[in-house]
Amino acid sequence: MNAALDCFAALGQPMRLSVFRLLVHAGANGMAAGEIAQALNARENTLSSNLSLLAKAGLVLRRREGRSIRYFADLTTMRHLVDYLLSDCCGGNPALCRPAINTLISAPVPDLSTESKMRDEPFNVLFLCTANSARSLIAEAILNADPSGRFRAFSAGSHPAGQPNPRTLQLLDRLGYDLSGIRSKSWDEFAGPDAPRMDFVFTVCDSAAGEVCPVWPGYPVTAHWGVPDPAAVSGNDAQQAAAFAATHKMLATRLSAFTSLPLESLGRNSLQARVDRIGRDETPLSDARG
**141-192 pLDDT, tens digit each:** 999 999 999 999 999 998 999 999 999 999 999 999 999 999 999 998 988 7
Per-residue pLDDT at 215: 60
Determine the residue type at 24.
V
In whole angstroms, give the CA distance from residue 162 to residue 152.
22
Of 89-103, 114-128, 132-146, 245-259, the least confident: 89-103
Per-residue pLDDT at 244: 97
CB atoms within 10 A of CB 86: 16
CB atoms within 10 A of CB 38: 13
Per-residue pLDDT at 166: 96
Residues 6+ away with beta carbon under 8 Å from 5: none
Mean pLDDT, all residues of the chain: 81
**pLDDT tens per residue, range 9-46:** 888 888 898 888 888 877 777 888 888 888 888 888 88
Pick the closest to residue 246 from 146, 166, 160, 135 (CA basis): 135
Please tell me the pTM assigned to this model.
Answer: 0.61
Q: Answer yes or no: are the C-beta atoms of 26 and 70 closer than 8 Å.
A: no
**pLDDT tens per residue, range 198-229:** 999 999 987 655 555 566 666 688 889 999 99
Q: Answer yes or no: are the C-beta atoms of 214 and 191 closer than 8 Å.
A: yes
Q: In the 3-class helix/strand/coil scheme, how is the chain assigned residue by residue?
A: CHHHHHHHHHHCCHHHHHHHHHHHHHHHHCEEHHHHHHHHCCCHHHHHHHHHHHHHCCCEEEEEECCEEEEEECHHHHHHHHHHHCCCHHHHCHHHHHHHHHHHHHCCCCCHHHHHHHHCCCEEEEEEECCCCCHHHHHHHHHHCCCCCCEEEEEEECCCCCCCCHHHHHHHHHCCCCCCCCCCCEHHHHCCCCCCCCCEEEECCHHHHCCCCCCCCCCCEEEECCCCCHHHCCCCHHHHHHHHHHHHHHHHHHHHHHHCCCCCCCCHHHHHHHHHHHHHCCCCCCCCCC
**What Å distances lie between residue 271 and 58, 265, 267, CA to CA?**
28, 9, 6
Residue 160 burial (10 A CB sphere; 0-12, 13-18, 19+): buried
Strand 31-32 relative to strand 68-73, pairing = antiparallel
Q: Characterise 138 by phi-psi region: left (phi > 0), alpha (psi -120 to 50), beta (else).
A: alpha
Residue 288, pLDDT above cutoff 60: no
Complete domains list, the chain, with CATH: 2-106 (1.10.10.10), 112-280 (3.40.50.2300)
- Average pLDDT in the 76-82 region? 72
Is the Cα torsion angle 268, 204, 127, 16 positive or negative in sign? positive
